[in-house]
Amino acid sequence: MQKKKSLGQHFLKSEKAIRSILEAANLSKNDIVLEIGPGEGVLTEKLLEKAGKVIAIEKDDRLIEFLSEKFDKYIKSNSLEIVHKDALEFESSSQGLKTQSYKIVANLPYYITGHFIRKFLETECLPSSMTLLLQKEVASRIVASNQKESILSISVKAYGKPKYIETVKAGSFVPAPKVDSAILHIGEISKNFFTEFSEKRFFETVKKGFSQKRKKLIGNLDLDASILIQCGIEEKVRAEDLSVEEWRCLLLQIGNSC
């Protein structure tokens, strides 16, 4: 089937990568999987073997027909549901899913990665985990183990624990993209981080902190040095130098100083 460049379609063909995705997702017959971008159903077939039910979200109308024919028996047995929709417009609650009652497995078009992750972390109907195939550079930036943090990496770490699973070479896809991909797993997803302040206040502060990347954090947030001292943060730091726990401390200290 001809791939649509406008949809960023790159279909996974590597059996090794598929095994790694399944292992990272840690599925059982008690699990409901929300699969984003099933493509020609190579991964879908394996998900159906592991999970109790798969809800596959596909935007390409040509693939809806193809998948419906390929998995007819699974659809009839109610172990597979195919939804014709843009993933960014899909609401988990519309399928009767409840918070932490489902897991996401997705081969994401590169151009929607950031929007997709934010959407499903900020929703009221949270998944319990996400296992994502995305651009290698983005996965590395989210984990940021020995690198500078970003708004995206801090956002992800406020909701869950990201883990870089493995690199997936460009040749593992048809057609091959121009860059390598990676499998990223985000586990233990919850909103527990926000028990002492709101998500809105947290992200407003983080975005303000990153607003002028060359400026020091104390200047971007117009902070009194004593607040940084309370959190054990040096005055010369920039937003990219702070861990998610240091952001938590800042929010609490800023609240206490009001």
Amino acid at 3: K
Mean pLDDT of 210-233: 92
pTM, two decimals, is 0.92
Q: How far apart are CA 211 and CA 221, in angstroms?
A: 9
8 pLDDT higher than 50 = no
Order the strands of the 181-187 sheet from edge to edge: 80-84, 53-58, 32-36, 103-107, 129-135, 181-187, 161-168
Q: Is 184 exposed, middle or buried (0-12, 13-18, 19+ CB in 10 A)?
A: buried
> What CATH architecture is 196-257?
Orthogonal Bundle (1.10)
Mean pLDDT of 232-243: 95
Q: How far apart are CA 126 and CA 97, in angstroms?
A: 9
SS3 7: helix
pLDDT digits (tens, 9 = 90+) for 67-109: 999 999 999 999 999 999 999 999 998 888 998 999 999 999 8
**Helix or strand (DSSP H, E) at 217:** helix 217-220
Query: What are the two backbone dihedrals, phi and then psi, of residue 123, each rounded to the nearest 5 degrees?
Result: -65, 160
Residue from 89, 48, 42, 41 nearest 65 by CA: 41
Q: Provide DSSP, 110-146.
A: GGGHHHHHHHHHHSSS--SEEEEEEEHHHHHHHH-SS
Residues whose CB is less than 8 angstroms from the CB of residue 123 and which lie 6 or more positions away in sequence, other chains included = 91, 92
CA 198 and chain centroid, separation: 21
Residues whose CB is less than 8 angstroms from the CB of residue 191 and which lie 6 or more positions away in sequence, other chains included = 126, 159, 199
pLDDT at 256: 61
Going from N- to C-terminal start, the domains of the chain cover 5-192, 196-257
Q: Give the lowest-confidence range in 17-26, 45-54, 142-151.
A: 142-151
Mean pLDDT of 190-199: 95
Q: Count CB-CB contacts under 10 A for residue 230.
A: 15
Q: What is the dihedral of CA 18, 22, 23, 27, to 10 degrees?
A: -170
CATH of domain 5-192: 3.40.50.150
